[in-house]
Every structure is written in C-alpha cells, then in structure tokens.
Amino acid sequence: MPADDLPVRGGLVIPAAELSYHLSHAGGPGGQHVNKTASRVTLRWSVRESGVLSDAWRARLLQRLAPRLTRSGELMVHADGHRSQLDNKRAARERLVQLVREGLHVPKSRRATKPTRGSQRRRVDAKKRRGDTKRQRRRPGGDD
C-alpha cells in the first residue's frame, strides 16, 4: 500500500489517485500568516465513481451520506483548524475516514423480547395500587 493511500477498514483502502486536494486561504484570525499561506484543505472523494467500493457498499454510502454529497456524488471534507497545511491535510483525511466508517456501519438488528413475568406482575400490582388510591378518594356511598 503506497504511503498516500487511505486505509479505511479491513479490506477497504482508498487509493491516492481517487483523492483530490484543494488548498485555499483559511479565514478567521491569524494576522499576516493567514493571508499568505494556503493552509485550508478541501479533500474530495467521488463515492459514485470509486473503483474500490462494491455495489452494496456504494449504495449504502450514497444513501447514508446523501446530505453530505455533492450532486456528482463527491464527498467533500474541509479542514482549517490548524495553522499548518500538513496538519489540516491529516485532519481532513481522518475526518473522511471517520465519515466513511460511519456510513458503512451496519447497526445490529433488534431482537424482540417479551416482558418478564416479574415485570408484568409489578406492572399489574402498581395499577391495582393506583386504582385503590383513586377508589379511596371517592365519596362514600357511591356506585360500588
């Protein structure tokens, strides 16, 4: 695996050729330094055209990451929290990996269970106690 390839999990490694970086001036405070250096990093990866994804993974990512994708199916990640371009590049790569991992995560299916006999008994007892309390609040000689 070349150094610039991006390992995501198990058998999934995004090749460096599928990643594109765009550098720009970061906003915010920082004085003259921020105006002279292109430290903001925008990392793009085309989910729709990636050659490393199976059809099932691609469909899952397109569905789960839909709000974050561009119209052409690209996932964009911005990083401008550091003064260093290299640190921002690392942060963008880590954020992309995290997003892809979350998008591929399959939640465990819920196994239906029945309430235990004890919990059912406690529920009925509580209902009876509540009914008794309300019954004691009635006027004597009611419709009993």
Closest of 12, 72, 25 to residue 44, by C-alpha: 72
Is 109 inside any structural domain? no
The total of structural domains in the chain comes to 1
Is 87 inside any structural domain? yes
Higher-scoring residue by pLDDT: 32, 107: 107
Contact 91, 82 (CB under 8 A): yes
CA distances from 63 to 10, 43, 48, 69 (A): 21, 20, 11, 10
pTM of the model: 0.72
The answer on pLDDT for 1 being more than 80 is no
Is 48 inside any structural domain? yes
The answer on pLDDT for 33 being more than 80 is no
Contact 57, 41 (CB under 8 A): no
The answer on pLDDT for 136 being more than 90 is yes
Q: Are strands 74-79 and 40-46 parallel, antiparallel or unpaired?
A: antiparallel
CA distances from 45 to 7, 8, 52 (A): 14, 13, 12
User: What's the rounded Cα separation, in Å, for the pair 105 and 82?
Assistant: 29
Is 125 inside any structural domain? no
What domain range includes position 23?
6-104
Is 67 inside any structural domain? yes
| CATH number (domain holding residue 26) | 3.30.160.20
Is 23 inside any structural domain? yes
Higher-scoring residue by pLDDT: 109, 144: 109
Contact 53, 35 (CB under 8 A): no
Is 126 inside any structural domain? no
75-111 residue pLDDT tens: 999 998 888 889 999 999 999 999 999 999 988 999 9
Is 84 inside any structural domain? yes
